[in-house]
């Protein structure tokens, strides 16, 4: 809102300094500061409110060290994260930007699903919470919204450099400019296509429509039948991965902050025509505005960590974990970096896989041997290390270190091809 207000002031009233809001760097800095202030100052009040409402965590006895001390700790702290993300974005973001609109919808939808789940657990005293099929339904809905918006919205384009000999009809593109390399003509074209980036590969753009070209669909008009289910799978997997990771104080929060910081770097270089040209990566017009959202996302996570770090004064609950995972998935898809998710979100991946492998192996051995056996002492993976006797804070800090290493590898893909 402030962006639009100061834009009006600059162009109509000519007040000095109003143009400062045109700079993404300034608005991103303001966004992260306001997000930190909201999460740290108002977070304490929300925790007190949750105490008064007796919104406490009910802990099952799993035989883990320090587990009973968590009994009664306020949950639904994802409300703090939600407010600390939404308010700065609404203040400093361009609300007419399709990416900002999509991310606001993603945040609200996943927070709502998680909030309903927490409400049922806390106030209805139903430990199962929202039925799994309804959670999945919400994740599928978000995947459809994100996938269909990116595929069909004409405001979402990628700008690519293509040699003239590879283009039959330049007029078919939304927009283009000409680059002349001493007679070697290249076109900079805006393509409304579902494309992504292949890591560690030179000239690393992949057009999803090529999947359907083998069936004679030359224009790729039916490629949404592949693309949207893929986005649904990504949203569901990452959202559930974040939910699984939220089992130790600060683990999901810190991991999400690391992932968000990495995506912020990708958003900044992908949305800047100079940096994207220098790094020879896909330029995504108008995506620089995503930096404002990611700045709020990082500020919210770091501010929430003030209260969520060991020993936690509040848990985020599904309100926070499903929201963080859904937002991270949406960001990766929007920035065309979804193929980097196994690396960047490696912590979420191994947490998810540990549960899948544990359940599958138990069922297999029970069917074959009559007695179920386990790969890990307990799943998700962080509980396995608790069973081995590692202190909670040591597990969290080591997972963070691994998360940082994975983030560095992800950033290195900008140049390592």
**Is the pTM for the entire model greater than 0.85?**
yes
pLDDT of residue 368: 87
3-state secondary structure the chain: CHHHHHHHHHHHCCCCCHHHHHCHHHHHHHHHHHHHHHHHHHHHHHHHHHHHCCCECCCCCCCCCCCHHHCCCECCCHHHHHHHHHHHHHHHCCCCCHHHHHHHHHHHHHHHHHHHHHHHHHHCCCCCCCCHHHHHHHHHHHHHHHHHHHHHCCCCCEEEEEEHHHCCCHHHCCCEEEEEECCEEEEEEEECCCEEECCCCCCCEEECCHHHHCCCCCCCCCCHHHHHHHHHHHHHHHHHHHHHHCCCCCHHHHHHHHHHHHHHHHHHHHCCHHHHHHHCCCECCCHHHHHHHHHHHHHHHHHHHHHHCCCCCCCCHHHHHHHHHHHHHHHHHHCCCHHHHHHHCHHHHHHHHHHHHHHHHHHHHHHHHCCCCCCCCCCCHHHHHHHCCCCHHHHHHHHHHHHHHHHHHHHHCCCCC
pLDDT in tens, 86-130: 999 999 999 999 999 999 999 999 999 999 998 898 888 777 888
Residues of the chain with pLDDT under 50: none
pLDDT in tens, 228-281: 999 999 999 999 999 999 989 999 999 999 999 999 999 999 998 888 878 878
pLDDT of residue 172: 55
């Amino acid at each position: 809102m402030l962006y639009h207000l100061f834009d009006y002031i600059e162009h109509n009233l000519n007040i000095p300094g109003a143009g400062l809001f045109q700079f993404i760097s300034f608005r991103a800095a303001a966004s992260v500061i306001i997000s930190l202030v909201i999460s740290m100052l108002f977070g304490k009040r929300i925790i007190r409110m949750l105490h008064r409402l007796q919104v406490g965590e009910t802990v099952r006895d799993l035989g883990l060290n320090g587990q009973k001390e968590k009994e009664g700790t306020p949950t639904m702290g994802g409300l703090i994260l939600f407010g600390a993300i939404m308010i700065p974005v609404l203040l400093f973001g361009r609300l007419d930007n399709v990416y900002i609109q999509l991310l606001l919808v993603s945040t609200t939808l996943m927070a709502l699903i998680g909030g309903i789940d927490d409400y049922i657990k806390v106030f209805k005293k139903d430990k199962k919470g929202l039925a799994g099929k309804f959670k999945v339904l919400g994740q599928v809905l978000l995947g459809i919204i994100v996938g269909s918006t990116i595929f069909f919205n004409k405001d979402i384009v990628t700008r690519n450099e293509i040699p003239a000999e590879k283009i039959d009809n330049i007029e078919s593109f939304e927009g283009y400019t000409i680059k002349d390399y001493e007679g070697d003509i290249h076109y900079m074209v805006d393509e409304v296509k579902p494309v992504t980036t292949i890591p560690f590969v030179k000239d690393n753009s992949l057009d999803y429509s090529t999947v359907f070209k083998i069936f004679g669909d030359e224009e790729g008009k039916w490629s949404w039948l592949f693309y949207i289910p893929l986005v649904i799978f990504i949203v569901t997997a990452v959202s559930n991965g974040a939910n699984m990771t939220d089992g130790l104080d600060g683990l999901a929060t810190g991991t999400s902050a690391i992932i968000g910081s990495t995506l912020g770097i990708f958003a900044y270089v992908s949305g800047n025509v100079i940096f994207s040209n220098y790094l020879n990566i896909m330029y995504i017009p108008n995506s620089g505005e995503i930096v404002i959202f990611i700045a709020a996302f990082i500020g919210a996570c770091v501010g929430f960590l003030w209260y969520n770090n060991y020993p936690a004064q509040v848990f985020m609950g599904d309100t926070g974990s499903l929201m963080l995972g859904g937002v991270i998935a949406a960001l990766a898809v929007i920035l065309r970096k979804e193929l980097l998710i196994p690396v960047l979100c490696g912590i979420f991946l191994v947490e998810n896989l540990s549960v899948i492998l544990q359940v599958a192996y138990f069922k297999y051995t029970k069917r074959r041997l009559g007695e179920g056996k386990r790969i890990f002492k307990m799943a998700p993976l962080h509980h396995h290390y608790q069973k081995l006797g590692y202190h909670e804070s040591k597990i969290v800090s080591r997972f963070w270190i691994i998360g940082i290493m994975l983030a560095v590898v992800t950033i290195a893909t900008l140049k390592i091809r």
